[in-house]
Amino acid sequence: MAKLIDGKKISQQIKDELKEKAAALNAQGRTGALAVIQVGADPASSVYVRNKKNACAYIGIESLAYELPEETTEEELLKLIAELNEKTEVKGILVQLPLPAHICEDKVIQAISPSKDVDGFHPQSVGAMTIGEPGFLSCTPAGIIQLLKRSGVEIAGKHCVIIGRSNIVGKPMALLMLRENATVTVTHSKTRNLPEICRQADILIVAMGKPRFIGAEYIKEGAVVVDVGIHRDENNKLCGDVKFEEAEPAASAITPVPGGVGPMTIAMLMSNCVQSIEEG
Ligand code: NAD
């Protein structure tokens, strides 16, 4: 039976550590706010934004909410970001994605000062991560590294297969696993023989965005399985990219959905905010 990697518990530990750190910084007069910008009222985005504000409140970081109407122009959004870049009390700027189609996400991401880019999406943050320079790490992949380390999974020398090559999960995940001395294979929608490649993985990280796609034929006996996917099934229940009931008997450790990777993303966002306050 696989060990369950408990993202809820590990993210709570991290948030408690950050709360202590933020209080110590606060006592030295070092404070700062996270600006959270949402354009439009997409219900899923509203839930994410609310969770981020709640996490700030728990840790003791101020959050400034900017709820802008759907019709906000790209120019107006860029102007707001420019103003927030200049405000010294604002230590982090987060623009909730996706944005309405008339706004270019890349332009918006690149407008955020790299020193306040707590999502780690700015090309400068990505470049710094690539060459191992200091900077903000992408939250979901950084959260997965913490999940593995804090669950006692050894990474160095292991073969890690990643399914997915997106800019927010697959690619940064590959870079962080390399940094941890794993041997990394990145697979994607054009990969041939996917089950065969996945069966070579000591650590299989699945970020393909396909509900319950990965079954027993993809998993080597004793592998560690990390499921990044998050979906609602036909009964409106949350599920991942992995068929949990098929993967679990073969795996040595596995993340559930919900309660695996999901809670780690916000914990790492908070970690980046505290880092930003620390760096002044
Ligand atoms: P994406 O759609 O941008 O990328 C999916 C990737 O999977 C692509 O690179 C594609 O090439 C690959 N892929 C698709 N079909 C494939 C196939 N049949 N075989 C092999 N590869 C295939 O998605 P994303 O933004 O990287 O997110 C992936 C999943 O993770 C989604 O379900 C998303 O909701 C979830 N997610 C969760 C969190 C979290 O905090 N838990 C954060 C980000 C994303």
- For residue 280, pLDDT over 90 is answered with no
Residues 233 and 151 in one domain: yes
In a domain, 134, yes or no: no
pLDDT tens by residue, 126-185: 999 999 999 999 999 999 999 999 999 999 999 999 999 999 999 999 999 999 999 999
Q: Report how far Cα 31 is from the mean position of its chain's Cα atoms.
A: 24
Mean pLDDT for the chain? 97
In a domain, 227, yes or no: yes
Alpha helix segments (H runs only) across the chain = 7-27, 43-59, 74-86, 105-111, 123-131, 139-150, 170-179, 194-198, 244-250, 262-279
**Which pTM value belongs to this model?**
0.97
Residues 62 and 159 in one domain: no
Provide mean pLDDT across the span 248-257.
98
- Please give the pLDDT value at position 166: 97
User: Which of the listed residues 166, 187, 204 should we mutate to test ligand 1's pocket, taking the one with most ligand atoms within 8 A of CB?
Assistant: 166
Calculate how far, in angstroms, residue 103's C-alpha sits from the geometric centre of ligand 1.
22
Residues 145 and 108 in one domain: no
pLDDT tens by residue, 186-197: 999 999 999 999
Q: Residue 241 CA: which ligand 1 atom is closest? A: 32
pLDDT tens by residue, 111-130: 999 999 999 999 999 999 99
pLDDT band at 59 (very low <50, low <70, confident <90, very high): very high
- For the chain, the C-alpha Rg in angstroms (whole number) is 19
Q: Whose CA is nearest to atom 17 of ligand 1?
A: 189
User: Which of the listed residues 42, 140, 228 should we mutate to test ligand 1's pocket, taking the one with most ligand atoms within 8 A of CB?
Assistant: 228
CB 58 within 8 A of CB 70: no
Residues 183 and 256 in one domain: yes
**Strands of 147-269, DSSP E:** 159-163, 183-187, 203-206, 224-227, 231-232, 238-239, 253-254
In a domain, 86, yes or no: yes
In a domain, 93, yes or no: yes
In a domain, 131, yes or no: no
**Cα end-to-end distance, the chain, whole Å:** 46
Percent of the chain residues past pLDDT 90, beyond the cut:
99
Domain count, the chain: 2
| Domain boundary residue, one of 54, 80, 114 | 114
- For residue 245, pLDDT over 90 is answered with yes
CB 95 within 8 A of CB 108: yes
Residues 199 and 258 in one domain: yes
Decide whether any atom of ligand 1 lies within 6 Å of the 228 Cβ: yes
In a domain, 240, yes or no: yes
Residues 168 and 231 in one domain: yes
- For residue 22, pLDDT over 90 is answered with yes
**Residue 189 maps to which CATH number?**
3.40.50.720
| Helices 139-150 and 170-179: angle between axes, nearest 10 degrees | 40
**Residue 97 maps to which CATH number?**
3.40.50.10860
CB 23 within 8 A of CB 278: no
- d(C-alpha 225, C-alpha 50), whole Å: 29
223 is in which domain, residue-wise?
139-262
- 100: preceding bond cis by omega (within 30 degrees): no
Q: Residue 262 CA: which ligand 1 atom is closest? A: 41
pLDDT band at 67 (very low <50, low <70, confident <90, very high): very high
Residues 104 and 47 in one domain: yes
User: Which of the listed residues 137, 189, 218 should we mutate to test ligand 1's pocket, taking the one with most ligand atoms within 8 A of CB?
Assistant: 189
Q: Residue 165 CA: which ligand 1 atom is closest? A: 9
- d(C-alpha 166, C-alpha 65), whole Å: 28
Residues 108 and 174 in one domain: no
In a domain, 15, yes or no: no
Residues 156 and 250 in one domain: yes
Residues 156 and 240 in one domain: yes
- Please give the pLDDT value at position 1: 84
Residues 107 and 153 in one domain: no
Residues 74 and 170 in one domain: no
Decide whether any atom of ligand 1 lies within 6 Å of the 209 Cβ: yes
In a domain, 242, yes or no: yes
